[in-house]
Homo-oligomer: A and B are copies of this chain.
Amino acid sequence: MQRTKVKDLLQGAEVDKEVLLKGWVRTKRGNKFVNFIAVNDGSTINNLQVVAEAEKFNEETLKDVTTGAAIAVTGKLVASQGKGQAYEVQATSIEVLGKADPETYPLQKKAHSLEFLREIAHLRFRTNTFGAVFRVRNTLSFAVHKFFNEKGFVYMHTPIITASDAEGAGEMFRVTTLDLDNLPRTEEGQINFEEDFFGRSTNLTVSGQMEGEVAAMAFSDIYTFGPTFRAENSNTTRHLAEFWMIEPEMAFYDLKMNADLAEEFIKYIIRYALENNREDLEFLAQRQAEEDKSKPQNERQEMTLIEKLESVVNNDFERITYTEAIDILLNSNHYKKKKFQYDVKWGIDLQSEHERYLVEKHFKKPVIVTDYPKDIKAFYMRMNDDGKTVAAMDILAPGIGEIVGGSQREERMDILVERMKSVGIEPEAMWWFLDTRRFGGCPHAGFGLGFERVVQFVTGMGNIRDVIPFPRTPQNAEF
């Protein structure tokens, strides 16, 4: 007999038939005549209720049916008389496949803190919250691929181990097979990386952008979706040492087309989650609402999670230039009352408090800020005609800050080389990157989106460590 998943059973797939159900016990309650066993198999946030009449079963078997145990149940799927579920299974047989000793199994009925669950990240998938979070993450991942596939983008697996560190996006992790207890040295006494695995010094990638640009000069439209790394000692709720990024690169795109694509993309994947994970998102919305109750009034969400997501999907993002953003900040009561901690003037890198003001107080929706001062942006961003700003764009989202950073790329060889030199990058070391400008270059653009930031935004989880299966942060590489 073939097993049917809980998700299908709850939709009445096999009603009034004998079914085989397999999953893990969430709760067992009842009396000496009948047991009600809630079984979850991860296919949905909802449990299926198994009704087991005590007289039909061995007492020993029922004793082993405890929270966390894996069981197989056969029985008839029937419309439920009880409240809270449409269908239930009247068990005719129960097999305990794996016990979970109630004395030692860490996930008992009571609610556990997110901090505690992080310590047992290998078991937290079995809770309602993390079940929902990772089903939503799965849906968003699929939506990413579906979106780009429908548009004819080519998915590129750009390299993880790299010898280039040209972007200078942050501190890097060294990758080596050298014996640290016996490092090879050159005649001058330097470590001899020629003897390392790749014959040179290598790191973990901070971005696949440059390899992506190269590929876009052949396929027109490409995207990456892979892990990237920052060896920064940041212990915040928004930083990970290992995280997943999505980086599309498009030949023949200017900044406006880039922003249009990013907006369409974000709306698409959120809409896809709303359509495919409604129950998970409703649970997470309720979780967030509960969490809010313990917060001071001014830190609470103004909208429910679902309202927030629907608002993003149904409204145009605001689009302003950096210069306009500075003007808005300077003209705000917030500024006049000296409520910003950091000063505001043209040329500053927008601080989190500035971004939040723009997004959460002023516009109350996602904002695309474009045309930043060249001195605070990367060398590869296209110089605007004013000579002061570059064709950059950041997308800022309520409650989360920057989720997209992108730009039109500098396609003009002479300007690009000059910019590289001005930030201390040897053009020769990037010969292959420059070849894209040397041979058949063209206007092009792209952006990067931190996937975990998006998952945070969609699930309402406050800590980025709670939206990646096994977070990697300073001092933590468990599991």
Per-residue contact bits, chain A 178-192, to B (CB 8 Å; 1 contact, 0 not)? 101101000000010
Once the chains are docked, how many angstroms separate the CA of A251 from the CA of B41? 9
Residues of B within 8 Å of A162, CB to CB, are: 477
Residues of B within 8 Å of A134, CB to CB, are: 154, 156, 215, 219
Once the chains are docked, how many angstroms separate the CA of A458 from the CA of B145? 21
Known: A470-B158, A472-B161. A152 touches B204 (CB 8 A): no
Please state if A68 and B440 are interface contacts (CB–CB under 8 Å). yes
Q: Is A333 an interface residue (CB 8 A)?
A: no
Q: Is A99 an interface residue (CB 8 A)?
A: yes
Please state if A198 and B160 are interface contacts (CB–CB under 8 Å). no
How far apart are A338's CB and chain B's nearest CB, in angstroms? 39
Please state if B131 and A42 are interface contacts (CB–CB under 8 Å). no
Once the chains are docked, how many angstroms separate the CA of A200 from the CA of B411? 43
Q: Is A12 an interface residue (CB 8 A)?
A: no
How far apart are A290's CB and chain B's nearest CB, in angstroms? 22
Copies per complex? 2
From B42, B173, B219, B477, A218 is in contact (CB under 8 Å) with B42
How far apart are A229's CB and chain B's nearest CB, in angstroms? 8
List which A424-458 residues lie within 8 A (CB) of chain B: 432-433, 435-443
Residues of B within 8 Å of A177, CB to CB, are: 171, 173-174, 231
Minimal Cβ-Cβ distance residue in B for A198:
B477
Q: Is A92 an interface residue (CB 8 A)?
A: no
From B70, B215, B229, A125 is in contact (CB under 8 Å) with B215
How far apart are A116's CB and chain B's nearest CB, in angstroms? 15
Residues of B within 8 Å of A152, CB to CB, are: 5, 7, 43
From B197, B219, B244, B439, A131 is in contact (CB under 8 Å) with B219
Residues of B within 8 Å of A175, CB to CB, are: 173-175, 204
Question: Chain A: residues with CB nearer than 8 A to chain B?
Answer: 3, 5, 7, 22-25, 41-43, 68-70, 72, 97-101, 104-105, 120, 122-123, 125-126, 130-131, 134-135, 137-138, 141-142, 145, 149, 152, 154-164, 171, 173-178, 180-181, 183, 191, 197-200, 202, 204, 211, 214-215, 217-221, 226-227, 229, 231, 233, 241-242, 244, 251-252, 411, 432-433, 435-443, 468-470, 472, 474-479
Once the chains are docked, how many angstroms separate the CA of A435 from the CA of B43? 21
From B105, B122, B204, A214 is in contact (CB under 8 Å) with B122
Please state if A98 and B411 are interface contacts (CB–CB under 8 Å). yes
Minimal Cβ-Cβ distance residue in B for A177:
B231
Please state if B157 and A160 are interface contacts (CB–CB under 8 Å). no
From B145, B469, B479, A157 is in contact (CB under 8 Å) with B469
Given contacts A70-B217, A131-B218, 20 further A-B contacts (CB under 8 A): A3-B252, A5-B220, A22-B251, A68-B440, A70-B251, A98-B411, A98-B441, A105-B440, A123-B214, A125-B214, A157-B244, A159-B470, A159-B472, A159-B479, A160-B229, A161-B173, A161-B242, A161-B472, A173-B197, A197-B475
